[in-house]
Structures are given as C-alpha cells and as structure tokens.
Chains A and B, each alone.
Chain A
Amino acid sequence: MEMAINMADIPVNSLATAPRIKPKTGRDDWIMRAFILIIGLYLVITLALPLYAMLSKSLNTYAFDLSRYEIQINTGTGWSKTTPVTNLNEASKKFKPADLNTSSDGRLPIVDMIEGFSFRSPTLYRLRNAQPGGAFLSGSERITDTEWHEFTSNKFRRVSLKPVGATGLDNFFQYFSNPALFNSIYNSLFIAIVSTIITVSLAFAFAYAMARSCMRFKGVFKVIAMAPILVPSLLPGIALVYLFGNQGMLKILMGDQTIYGPIGIIAGSVFFTFPHAMIIIQTALSISDARLYEASDALGASKTKTFFTVTLPGARYGLISAAFVVFNLVITDFGLPKVIGGQFNVLAVDIYKQVIGQQNFEMGAVVSVVLLIPALLAFSVDRLVQKKQVALLSARSVPYQPIPNKRFDRIMFSYSSVVAGLIVTALVVCQYAALVKFWPYDLSLSLNNYNFDVMDGGGWGSFYNSIKMGFLVAVIGTVVVFTGGYMVEKAPGFALGRGLFQFLAMLPMAIPGMVLGLAYIFFFNNPVNPLNAIYGTLAILVICSITHFYTVSHLTALTALKQMDKEFESVSASLKQPFYKLFSRVTVPVCLPSILDISIYLFVNAMTTVSAVIFLYSPDTTLASVAMLNMDDAGDIAPAAAMGMMIFYANSLARIFHHFASKRLYTRTQAWRTR
C-alpha cells in the first residue's frame, strides 16, 4: 500500500526544465473554430469592411487643381505664351478656393473662367495636362496625356476639368463651415433629448403601473403598449398628419404651431420608442427585492420616501439604459423625420438628402460619421449600465408582490388607459385614413387606397417582397446568430478569436441603419468587389437586415446559452460524442423558446425597417416600408397609411402565430420543464 511519492525521484528544478504542454486540438475544436471563423468572416464582410469603406470615403476629398492645366490662346495673332489655368481664374475672379472643392463626379467647364467667352468667336484654344495624372474631358472623352490639344471656341465650351482626389479632413471642414448642415447636429440632439425625457417618464409611469399596482386588464395594456414595435416609425408620422396636419381632424388644437417639424418628430418618436423603454423599465422594476420594501415599511418610511429611497434607486440602471436606448433610436431614425419633419433637418435625413438628392456620397459619409458619434456613445454607456444591472440581481431576492389599493390602482388604471388609448388612436386613425376615399372631401369608405399597383412605390409586390425578406431574415438570421452564439460561448480556448467575434457581434447595435446602408453602397457597389453581384438583389437586403439586427438577437442567444449547464460539453466529450450531437439533441431543444424569440424579433424588424434598406432596394426588390415612404413622398398619404397598416397586420399575425407556436412547443417538447 505504500505508494507515496519518494520526493528524491523528482528533479529539483523540474519547473524550469519541464516542457510546456501544447494541448492537442481535437476534431470538435477544429469544427467549432471553423464555425467561429466562418460567421466571424460573415460579420467582417457585412459589417467591418463596409464601415471601413464608408470611413475612408468620408476622408476622400475632390478638388479642381487649376495649376495642373496649362493653356494657350490664339485670338488670331498667334499663340499666347503658356500659362497655368490658375491665372485664368485669377484674372476672371470667378471661383474662390472653396468653390473648387467638389465630389468625385464633379466637372468644371473651363470656359466659366474666361471672361467674355463666346462659342461663336474665332479664337482657338490649346489645353494640356501640365503633369501626368491630371485629366480633363472633351465632351465625354477623357484626356490624360500631357500633349497639347487644340479646340475651336465651339468645341472648347464642352471642355471641362476633372477633380483630383486626395485624403484628408477637408470634407469635415466643409461640413462644419456649412450652417445648413451642422445645424442638424443641434436639431438631432434636441429632438433626441426631448423625446428621451418624455418617453422615459411616460414609460416609467406605465411600467410602474404594470409592476406595482393591482389594476385590471394588465394583459391588454401590455399588448397595446407593445403594438408600436409592429409598425414602421413613419406610421405615427402619418397618423399625426391626419390628426394635426394642414387638413387634420384636430388641427384646431395646434393653434399657430405646425405639426410638420420638431413637435411632430418628438410626438412620433415618443410613440415608436415607448415599448422599448417600457419593457426595459418594467424588467428593472420587476427584479426589485420585496425584502427592501418590507424593511422600509418596518422602519416606518412613508410611501413617498420609499419611492425615492427604494423604488427609484432600484430601477436606476433600467432608467439609464432605457434613456440611452430611446436616445439612440430617435437620433438614428430616418422614416419619421422624413415624413413629418418638414423643413426641420436632422442628421439621418441629411444623409438621405446628400446621397439620394445630391449624389454627394462623400458628404453623406461625413454626416454618417457625425451621426455615428452620439450613437456609439449612447451604445457604450448602455452596455456599461447593463453590466451593472446584472450585478444587482441576487439569487436570494424575493420578488415583490403588489398589494391591492383601490385609490392607487384606480389612478394607475386611468393613466394606463390614457396611454393605451393614444396608441390605439394612432392606429385607428391610420386605418380610417386608409379606408376613406378622399380625405377630407369625400369621407365615404372604399378600398381604393389599397390599389397599390397604381401608385408609385412598388405596389403589392413590395408587400410580398417584405414578407419574403422577413422570412428569409428570420430563418437564416436565427441559424447564423444562434450557431455563432453557441460557438463563441462554448468553444474551448481560442480566446482571441472569440473576443474578436464578440466585438463584431456587439457592433451592429451602435451602427445607425442609414450608416450601414450607405456603407453597403460603398462596399458592395464597388465594381472591383467580387460580391458586387448581390447589389440590387434581395440577398443584400437580407444580409443587411441580419447584420443590422444582429446584436439583440446575439444577446438573446447568449442569455439562453449561459443558462445551460457549462459541464454539458464536458460530459458529452467524456462520453466520446461529437459536440454537434449535443447541439442538436440538447442545446437547440432546450433553447427553442429563445430561438423562436430571435426569429420573431428578426421578422418584425425586417418588416418595419426603412433606414438601412432605403439605399439598397432596386425596382425588383422594393419593400413595403420603403413603398410607404415613397408613396408618402409622392403625396399618396392614404395609400401609405394603408400599407403601414398592412405591415401592422402582417406583424400582428406573425406575433400571434409565434405566441401559439411557442405555447404548443412548450406543451409538446418542453414536457421536462414540469415536475
């Protein structure tokens, strides 16, 4: 039995001499790493590279460099001596230095700098590039050599200079020297901050009623409060137009104010961000520890005092988190200010105007970068706060149970009814507007407005496109996100790869949809990109939407996966079973409720999103939400409302289906949950 180690057997300095063990990487490890790499690569291609393309675009500057061209003029008395074109401009004082900045497509007709130019005059001109690398156009012919080219006056009027590209911050200087542009920063911040304060206050009171009162019909209130998630953000804009617009039902209430501007944007923002804030705050309130209230009660604190010393501090992280989420949603939203913003410019709409309206892609990229800053900031603070929130939870906490209090419950019920009433009103107004023949002149009901095929925007096809895209995003996205989440959570070792993956998975939340969409143009519409083929197809819309909504889905997957016993993988490996058997037989079935949640989240968002896809759809792939925007733009507001309500019904149907599917699944495959 004497087996104890003889210490003399062990080399004294074995620590220094023993070779380092290099763990052998098993087959499962290789497969998991391959998955991380593949999905990581997906995120690099659909997120990191496009963003990089956009950033570098914002630093690309184009300007006409007049010193690169030399000119000779023959007014009939022989050729003048060679002069740089710069001198022409100095003589005519036509362009100031700032005027020479342009975009990549800029052209400068050279005759603009010649005073008294007439295309009928017999004067001859010679132009050449003073150095290699310059370019000018004669008609549509591009001339890059350094030879002299001779033109008659008639020909010369069709000669224009091409800008020279460079890298620098000039675009940003230009942006900040243009008040029309940088005023939008102030406007966007103003809208976002005011909307945040109003939304969070309203949502807190509503969540408080839900969590702390014994009022009736909580289920109904909850369903109504969540309804705005099911519609595009421009729908409340349309409702507001019908209520308070120039021909609005309640225009009288507006006095001399107009709904087209900050008031409209804020009102609409409160509507569409309300459910997001409500759900965060309600979660924060529902994890409050009942023991704290008992202690407060036992110490004789008044209700008000308890509210300020227990309730508010307990929910503070939820409130902060809700505030930043709302702020981010509002400042990055595009649909609502587009519909109801009037002359009030905000950053997200500026991007659209620069890109679609003026074709100035560089300036669009600059505004995107500007918009990225507050979005990234809000995102970082939110993540920081979320981490702290988790630390607040303790396993021993006792959930708070509200006690009936007639007066308090009645007040809470009244308040909740008002909020729910407003939400329902907006939806009803839209539906009514969609059915009215010709507001406000012919109030008879008809389905004329549903005849989308005769309107601009894509017709019924766009609605079916949306449904199709929603399905594809839900199915493909769920598979990608959940598999990626599993690999990053359960793969052993490979810390660097997993860290990088995690970063990429969190990034989309900080990237506004407009910015992502524009980045996709720069990246995928580049002819040298081998992935150029997907540009203009449904595929790019699906990919863009999956990436756009990646983070929340990823976090949902991680939460579910973290609840799985971390030793399942060890046990399975010890039984010599491949990880994919565990994945398919245990992980996926156990996480099925969360997987369904991810897919419905992706579906609903794919149906309502406007911002990212507005830059990416083609005539064949118009979407319902985009059609809504375009119809509104064309003045067909009633059909836009009709389309908005179609999205609402499609999403509601999906939600109901999801609800029953989950329930059915629960009873059929989750039998193990019941003891």
Chain B
Amino acid sequence: MADKAPFLKIRNLTKMFGTFTALKDISLDISESEFICFLGPSGCGKTTLLRAIAGLDIQTHGTIEQAGKDISALPPAERDFGIVFQSYALFPNLTVNRNVAYGLENAGQNKKAIKERVSELLEMVGLADQGNKYPAQLSGGQQQRIALARALATSPGLLLLDEPLSALDAKVRTFLRHEIKDLQAKLGITTVMVTHDQEEALTMADRIVVMDHGTIEQVGTPIEIYREPATLFVADFIGEMNQLAAVAGKDNTARIGDIEFTCNPHSAKEGETGILTIRPEDIVPQTDQTKTNGANIIDVTISEMEFLGAFWRATLSDEKLQGRRLLADFSINAVSRMGLKIGGQIKVAFPQDAMRFYGNGN
C-alpha cells in the first residue's frame, strides 16, 4: 500500500474560528479502500476535520487532494463523497424509497434504473421491505441504515460518517458496527468515520487517527494505538492505564523509590521525571511465590478486589510503591487457583514490553 499514491492527501490543514484554532497544521494520508477513524474527546477537532474534507466548513489554510485532484476550495456539491450524520438527516416527508432515490434523480437515469438501484441498496442494508414507509415509522437503527443507503446511492468515492452510531442504544450499536464494517469491506469504499467511542474505533478501523486540541496525537492500526501509544495522551485516552509518577534511569529503566523497572526503549535522559504506564491486564500474578524479587517482579498487597464479570480487578499497593496504587486485572481462573483475596500478599511481574515511560521533558 505504501507505494501507491494516497487517495486522500491532507497537508498543513489549519482551521480558525475567529481567534480560536480548531485544527493546527494537520497532515494526513489516507489510502484507497481504507477505513479510518478520527478518535478523540469532544472539541478535539475531529468533526471539524471531517467537515473540512466534505467542504462544509472549508479550512483556513492547507490543502486537500482527493484522487489526485485538489479539492481544497471546492464547495460540497463539487466534491465526491457521501455523508451520514448523527441525526441521519433523513427527509421526513419522503418515503424511504424516495429518500434513497433523492441523489439519483436528475442524474440522467430513467425511472426504472433508479427503482432498481433503490431496491438493490435497500437489499444491501437489509431493509428491502421498508421502502414505502416514512422515516418516522422506522427504528433508529433502521433510519441509520437508510441514511447509509442514501449516501451510497450515487456510488461516491469517499464515505464520511459523523458519529453515525452515537444516537443508538448499545445493542443496536454493536450490531451496526459489524454491518457497516462488512459493507465497507465489500464495497471497498474509502471511509472516514468520526467517533468519540474508542471501542467503536478499535473494532471498526483499519487505522485510527487519535486527535486532541486540534492536532494529531498518533496515527496507527488499532493494535499499534493500543499496544504502543505514542504519547501519554493516547495511553490515557485508550483503554485502562496505570499511570505512576516515576524518574527515568539509565538504559531504558525507570525508578519508583528504590524499585527499578526495565521498560520499552524511551528517550528520556537519566533523572528526568515522568509517568510510567502499564495496562491492568499486563500485570502478571506469579504462581511461584518463592521466586526472588527484582527484574520487574515485586511483592504487593491486594487492598481491594472488584468482580467485573469476565475478570477480577484488583487494587494493589505496597509501601515500596510509596502510596501509589495499581489496578490489575486477574482472570477468574488465576484468582481461584491462587486463592487471591483482599489482604493477601502476592508477587506480580511487570513485563518489560508492556511498560512505557513518558518523560516530562525536564
């Protein structure tokens, strides 16, 4: 994929609303057929970026190329995309059929061809029998799929989804995630989806663009984003993460008091303060309690345990950690096998490749 020219090429995009900078110098490449998610907290600029790509709120500076054509200044009608909004924006007074057919009319197609295309699209989204209903007569999930069918009707080169699942309840949301992902894969349409829901991004995207304060924090596959967060913001925003104040040591180590941990390579210089991170599920309880400490293995006390269904979440503490508390996820198996309980003492290991240190830069 790397040798092919990117389908969407965004360069130095800046968007100002008055004196407020909503996007700061964003550059990004998106390949053909890719499913990209813009992920970030509200106000991070993800929707602004999507609307700039659509031409709905054109950027102040910077360029966007789509399929080799400079579209930076074009109004939406002169770009090539389909869009689905959180509100669906279905025309309430038109039937499902006429909503889907809306973009097909006056495109030189005859009535029969339009009718066929509409049934094909409705079939595709699994609502073939709902064509004569009005949007208000459909459930939220059904409306969402109609909006999708309408956006895809003109076979656009780019599909933009603005928080398409946010207004739905949890069960429908999970179902539609797969539906949309499957459809996208089948059609091979380049897709950009904006979401604030990390689970949605992790399950659907080929690549995730994590944004904060109008800048891109990290671009990567879901696994890269989860396993190798490039910044502390990403580490904090995605999933659960223990964050421990620590001091950088020599040779990719970090210290908390007297305990030294070896972690993933980091660029902080010795003595620099920062945050040491590890995910709760990466902390490994040791079966062999006689093993000596050191080499990322320490003794801790279980001060709380919370049953979360699929696993136990334990809060660990120890005087050597100087009041810091750690969350660790233990499987139900491990808990019963090792007889873990509140107040119990165990040895836990901190695998080196699961530990990252983010220096404060001082």
Contacts and interface: CB of A to CB of B under 8 A. Distances in A.
Contact of A575 (B72, B94, B153): B153
A619 interface: no
A674 B108 CA distance: 34
A450 to B, nearest CB: 46
A17 B216 CA distance: 20
Contacts of A4: 218-220
Nearest to A13: B25
B358 interface: no
Interface in A622-675: 669-675
B93 interface: yes
B76 A573 contact: yes
Given A1-B221, A670-B93, A673-B136, A575 B14 contact: no
B266 interface: no
Contacts of A14: 12, 25
B91 A15 contact: no
Contacts of B218: 4
A24 B75 CA distance: 6
A2 B106 contact: no
Contact of A669 (B81, B82, B85, B93): B93
Nearest to B218: A4
B93 A590 contact: yes
Contacts of B239: none
Interface stretch (A144-152, A297-305, A563-571): A563-571
A675 B136 contact: yes
A576 B219 contact: no
Contacts of A570: 54, 56, 76, 83, 85, 89
A575 B12 contact: no
Interface in B328-351: none
Task: Choose among A1, A28, A571, A589 the residue with the greatest number of B CB atoms under 10 Å from its CB.
Answer: A571
A489 interface: no
Contacts of B85: 565, 567, 570-571
A407 interface: no
Contacts of B106: 577, 581
A403 interface: no
B93 A26 contact: no
A131 to B, nearest CB: 58
Contact of B103 (A5, A11, A27, A575): A575
Given A570-B85, A589-B93, A675-B136, A5 B28 contact: yes
A1 B222 CA distance: 12
Interface string A558-594: 0000000101101111111100010001100110000
A9 B11 CA distance: 10
Contact of B58 (A23, A565, A669): A23
Contact of A577 (B27, B89, B102): B102
B-side interface size class? 35 or more
Contacts of A1: 1-2, 207, 221
A21 B72 contact: yes
Given A1-B221, A568-B89, A675-B136, A576 B103 contact: yes
Interface stretch (B59-67, B179-187, B194-202, B252-260): B59-67
B27 A5 contact: yes
A670 B82 CA distance: 28
A581 B94 CA distance: 13
A482 to B, nearest CB: 16
B305 interface: no
Contacts of A20: 60-61
B93 A573 contact: no
Interface in B10-28: 11-12, 14, 24-25, 27-28
A23 B73 CA distance: 4
A504 B106 CA distance: 37
A567 B28 CA distance: 26
B165 interface: no
Given A26-B75, A590-B92, A572 B102 contact: yes
Task: Choose among A567, A590, A671 the residue with the greatest number of B CB atoms under 10 Å from its CB.
Answer: A567
Contacts of B150: 571, 575
B219 A577 contact: no
A15 B81 CA distance: 28
B78 interface: yes
Contacts of A573: 75-77
A4 B208 CA distance: 10
Contact of B60 (A21, A26, A568, A671): A21
B157 to A, nearest CB: 12
B142 interface: no
B29 interface: yes
Contacts of B134: 671-672
A230 to B, nearest CB: 32
Contact of B61 (A5, A21, A25): A21
B154 interface: yes
Contacts of B83: 570-571, 574
B352 interface: no
A138 B260 CA distance: 116
Interface in A311-346: none
B81 A18 contact: no
A297 B207 CA distance: 56
Nearest to B29: A3
Contact of B91 (A574, A586, A671): A586
A11 B12 CA distance: 9
A573 B154 CA distance: 12
A472 B45 CA distance: 50
Interface in B203-219: 207, 216, 218-219
A116 interface: no
A170 interface: no
A22 interface: yes
B87 interface: yes
Contacts of A577: 102-103, 105-106
A539 B91 CA distance: 38
A15 B62 CA distance: 9
B152 to A, nearest CB: 11
A5 B219 contact: yes
Contacts of B92: 586, 590, 672-673
Contacts of B58: 21, 23
Contacts of B274: none
Nearest to A672: B134
B25 A574 contact: no
A27 B55 CA distance: 14
25 contacts: A1-B1, A1-B221, A3-B1, A3-B207, A5-B27, A5-B219, A19-B61, A20-B60, A21-B60, A21-B62, A24-B73, A26-B76, A568-B89, A568-B91, A574-B77, A574-B81, A574-B83, A574-B151, A574-B156, A575-B82, A575-B102, A586-B94, A672-B93, A673-B92, A675-B137
Name the 10 nearest CB pairs between A and B, nearest first. Answer: A575-B103, A26-B75, A672-B134, A567-B89, A573-B76, A18-B61, A23-B58, A14-B12, A573-B77, A24-B73
Interface of B: 1-2, 6, 11-12, 14, 24-25, 27-29, 31, 54-56, 58-63, 72-79, 81-83, 85, 87, 89, 91-94, 102-103, 105-107, 134-137, 150-151, 153-154, 156, 207, 216, 218-221
